[in-house]
């Protein structure tokens, strides 16, 4: 896990998983293990950010790799960098989890709040990690860096946790008007920046 695997290596692993046939799954299982070793830390970091509990994030990661195992054959059509494709799957499993919980528990926000204030305070200077990121992610990273810490936090939480302006205001304990301004300015800045890079 020390050297970041290249996109081509990850793609080759996904294709080995997709190529399995009934009764001949050994190679696919080895490929899944290699894919897991190369990417689990990354996907777990993402899951943890979305669901904010280690136990639950581990359940999300488990579901994510089982999904990857199942839908590896769709990767070719996705046209995305492998880690982004896997990231989107993980986010979607994590959001399923949050929705399930939100419908079951009313105290969800209380729990999330604590974690959010932690991440806002703890990681504000540079919460991002491009060690394994695709070119596309690197461009987004460069553009997000141009935002103020809090704007960046609001934009990335809006996406990662699929939050509305109102939910963001509640979780970040910030007036709705401020959230709307941050998101609007954040998106303006991203639009200009991404437009010039990509």
Partner 1 sequence: MNISKNPALLDHLAASYALGTLRGGARRRFESLARESVIVRAQALIWQERMAAMTELEAQQSPSPNVWKRIENLVQAQRAQAAAAPAVAGLSAMLETMRRNLMLWRTAAVGAALTCAVTLMVLPWQAAPKVEYVAVLAGESAQANILVTFDPGNKRLTLKRVGSFQEDEGKSLQLWALPASGPQSLGVLGRDAQVRLTALENQIQDVPALAISLEPKGGVPAGQGPSGPILFKGALLKTTL
Q: Which residues here bind partner 1, judged by CB under 8 A?
A: 22, 25, 29, 32-33, 36, 40-42, 44-46, 48-49, 54-55, 57-59, 61-63, 65-67, 69-70, 80-81, 83-84, 87-88, 90-91, 100-101, 104-105, 127-134, 136-137, 139-141, 144, 155-156, 158-160, 162-165, 183, 187-188, 190-191, 194-195, 198
φ/ψ of residue 144, rounded to 5: -65, -30
- CB 12, min distance to partner 1, A: 19
- CB 113, min distance to partner 1, A: 19
Residue 23: its H or E element: none
- CB 178, min distance to partner 1, A: 14
Residues contacting residue 16 through CB under 8 Å, at least 6 positions apart = 27, 28, 30, 31
Closest Cα partner for 71 from 9, 20, 133?
20
C-alpha distances in Å from residue 39, one per residue of 7, 18, 24, 143: 11, 17, 24, 24
- State which residue, 12 or 108, has the beta carbon closest to partner 1: 108
- CB 96, min distance to partner 1, A: 10
- State which residue, 90 or 171, has the beta carbon closest to partner 1: 90
- CB 3, min distance to partner 1, A: 13
* Helix, strand, coil percentages in the chain from 3-state DSSP, rounded to 5: 80, 0, 20
- State which residue, 81 or 149, has the beta carbon closest to partner 1: 81
Residue with tokens 């460069």: 142
Closest Cα partner for 186 from 136, 126, 125, 145?
145
């Amino acid at each position: 896990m020390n050297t970041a695997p290249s996109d081509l290596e990850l793609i080759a692993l996904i294709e080995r998983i997709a190529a399995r046939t009934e009764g001949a799954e050994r190679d696919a299982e080895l490929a899944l293990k290699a894919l897991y070793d190369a990417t689990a830390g990354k996907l777990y970091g993402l899951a943890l950010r979305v669901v904010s509990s280690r136990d639950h994030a581990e359940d999300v990661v488990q579901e994510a790799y089982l999904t990857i195992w199942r839908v590896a054959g769709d990767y070719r059509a996705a046209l995305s960098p492998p880690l982004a494709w896997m990231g989107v799957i993980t986010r979607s499993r994590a959001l399923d989890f949050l929705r399930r919980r939100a419908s079951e528990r009313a105290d969800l926000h209380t729990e999330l709040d604590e974690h959010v204030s932690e991440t806002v305070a703890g990681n504000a200077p540079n919460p991002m990690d491009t060690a394994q990121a695709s070119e596309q992610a690197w461009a987004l990273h460069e553009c997000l860096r141009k935002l103020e810490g809090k704007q960046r936090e609001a934009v990335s939480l809006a996406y990662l946790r699929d939050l509305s302006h109102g939910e963001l205001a509640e979780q970040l304990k910030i007036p709705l008007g401020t959230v709307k301004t941050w998101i609007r300015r954040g998106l303006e800045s991203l639009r200009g920046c991404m437009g010039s890079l990509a």
